[in-house]
Structure 1
Amino acid sequence: MSQYDSLIIGEVAQDTNVDYDGTVVKAIGGAVYYSGFAAANMGHKIAVLPKADTRAVDLKAAFAAAPNITVYPLHSDTSFVTKNVYHTADRERRTSTVDSMITPYRPEEVPDIDAAIWHLAGLAAGDIPDEMIPFAAQHAMVAIDVQTMLRCVENGGMVYHDWAKKKEMLPYIRFLKTDAAEAQILTGTEDRAQAARMLCDWGAKEVLITHNSEVLVYDGKEIYTCPIKARNLSGRTGRGDTTFACYITERLTCDVPTALRTATALVSLKMETPGPYMGTRADVEDYIKEFY
């Protein structure tokens, strides 16, 4: 058995979030942050490899409130510093600007960490170069949030481009996560089920696609969906990270429908409160009994 259920690799972000009503919140963020808390608070043993300018960000302190997390901090001369402006109450439309990015991850700086899954959770193209994927596949099952390949920083803004090496890299990937818009960029279709099938045909073993109404999973055989039932969206930031981290760690011991229901219930509950998921597995189980 591996020492950790998942090793999450990705930079911690210094975020400024401006809500549609003008409320401004400065916070630590990033996929590694939301993913780490979600998986750890469900009882999974997690390692994180966050990267930032450690003169400005205390990376161990950032995860101090989470149980079961071991932090392996990496220094970068610059941090990922971003501003997100949300334009609608459902937080589906936002404009992101980026002031600075990290120096990219390199295979030689990853410690020898025994984990069942290596979860690549970068924030923009270049953070986690393509070469990190086959390297990760030599050590564990690979999970990747495709935003780290599609989101490109150009002139301080965030734009999306297709992943040039997707057909070369997808065969290395056990778990692939996209949102609905990213799936369309990758495949050219708005049909999420068809997009998931195409991504599996190109090599990914299991595809998870998030949408504001549901989470969809395709395992190469069947399409599974589960509805999101959040009663408010004040904690919308981190939706995909929370869902994916929970899903892949639950899949270590559960079948697809069970892991999908648990992850969807968790993110529904998480979205009702800003910040990372700070509840327990029992809270999620109670939520499932009430709403699912």
Structure 2
Amino acid sequence: MSQQFDSLIIGEVAQDTNVDYDGTTVRAVGGAVYYSGFAAANMGHRIAVLPKADTTKIDMAAAFADAPNVTVFPLHSATSFVTKNVYHTPDRERRTSTVDSVIEPYKTSEVPEIDAKIWHLAGLVGGDITDEMIPFAAEHAMVAIDVQTMLRCVENGGMVYHDWAAKKEMLPYIRFLKTDAAEAEILTGTSDRVAAAKMMYDWGAKEILITHNTEVLVYDGREIYTCPIRSRNMSGRTGRGDTTFAGYINERLTKDIPTALQTATALVSLKMETPGPFMGTRQDVENYIREFY
């Protein structure tokens, strides 16, 4: 069977309320699948999404209607992921997240036959995507995972982080592993991003991407690559990591690491200058690279 999609993104659509440091409040559809899907599709990649939510309350096809090259395979859950993010500082690096409800976990039995080169596991909290989904995904495609879906846990309505108990068992299945700097420290115990990347590689992940507010880092077991963030403002901070990761892994299908990394970093730098998902084009990103890189 010929490859139909560049990537299949598995993760719930969220009902987000975002409160900025100055009190500005925005209610919107969100979630890693949403920001990732728009970013990859607007760069010209063929994307399938498997979003999960209460379909009586969220029209998931409508949520992705403005994204080119996205095919939606909606899954129903009795409950949706409903959250509120309060940002405390202008750089939006500190936030408090509260969660009113979460989805029913994804099951391997409900994933339809979808032909994709990459399966991108993009849940939002622990339990969304169970450990068993990882070897199942590896039977079908290269596996990419944003580790937030294994570390973030809902406790008493709040969001807390715990280490991933099965990390050493599961990382060997993973082709692309994404963490942010804080998550990398939780997984490895070190705040040194280079050391953390090397540790996660030693545990089995093939290509590690770590985001930071100053740069994006990639390690492939041989060399450390970095590329600086160039955003002129941070008004579109929400969805930063999702945009970076989706941009990177889809570019890696045809590009080497330095090229894919620069494209993904420029993509997220440009995206962060405007709230919402990335709505530009590949040409916009190429122009941004010429101007700022």
Name the TM-score, length of structure 2 as normaliser.
Answer: 0.99
Letter in 1 for 2:101: S
Corresponding residue SS for 1:55:
coil
Alpha-carbon shift at residue 216 of structure 1 (Å): 0.2
Tell me which residue corresponds to 2:23. Answer: 22
Residue 280 of structure 2 is matched in structure 1 by: 279
Q: How does 1:114-125 map to 2 (within 5 A)?
A: 114-125=115-126
Q: CA deviation at 1:254?
A: 0.2
Structure 2 residue matching 1:236: 3-state secondary structure: coil
Match of 2:259 in 1: 258
Tell me how far 1:195 sits from its aligned partner: 0.3
CA distance in 1, matches of 2:208, 2:142: 14
Distance 1:284 1:24 in 2: 29
Is residue 288 of structure 1 aligned with residue 285 of structure 2? no
Structure 1 CA distance for aligned equivalents of residues 180 and 214 of structure 2: 11
Match of 2:168 in 1: 167
Counterpart of 1:71? Answer: 72
Shift of 1:284: 0.1
Q: Given residue 196 of structure 1, which amino acid in structure 2 is its aligned partner? A: A
Once the two structures are superposed, what CA deviation does each residue of 1:90-125 show, in whole Å capped at 9, x if it has no partner?
Answer: 000000000000000000000000000000000000
Q: CA deviation at 1:210?
A: 0.2
Q: One-letter code of the match for 1:237?
A: T
What TM-score do the two structures reach when normalised by structure 1?
1.00
Aligned-pair CA distance for 1:2: 1.1
1:101: which partner in 2?
102
Q: Which runs of 5+ in 2 are unaligned?
A: none
**What is the distance in 1 between the residues matched to 2:88 and 2:208?**
29
Q: Give the alignment of 1:156-235 within 5 angstroms.
A: 156-235=157-236
Q: CA RMSD in A?
A: 0.3
State the partner residue of 1:129.
130
Where does residue 54 of structure 1 map in the other structure?
Answer: 55
**Paired-residue identity, %:** 83
Q: Secondary structure at the match of 2:178?
A: strand
5+ residue gaps, structure 1, are none
**Secondary structure of the corresponding residue to residue 20 of structure 1:** coil
C-alpha separation between the residues in 1 aligned to 2:131 and 2:92? 30
Q: Distance in 2 between matches of 1:38 and 1:196?
A: 24
Task: Measure, in 2, the Cα distance between the counterparts of 1:94 and 1:29.
Answer: 16
| 1:141 counterpart residue number | 142
Partners of 2:271 and 2:194 lie apart in 1 by 25
Is 1:42 matched with 2:68? no
User: 1:49 Cα shift?
Assistant: 0.1
- In 1, Cα distance between the equivalents of 2:159 and 2:130? 18
Amino acid in the other structure paired with 2:227: C
Q: 2:3: which partner in 1?
A: 2
CA distance in 1, matches of 2:242, 2:220: 19
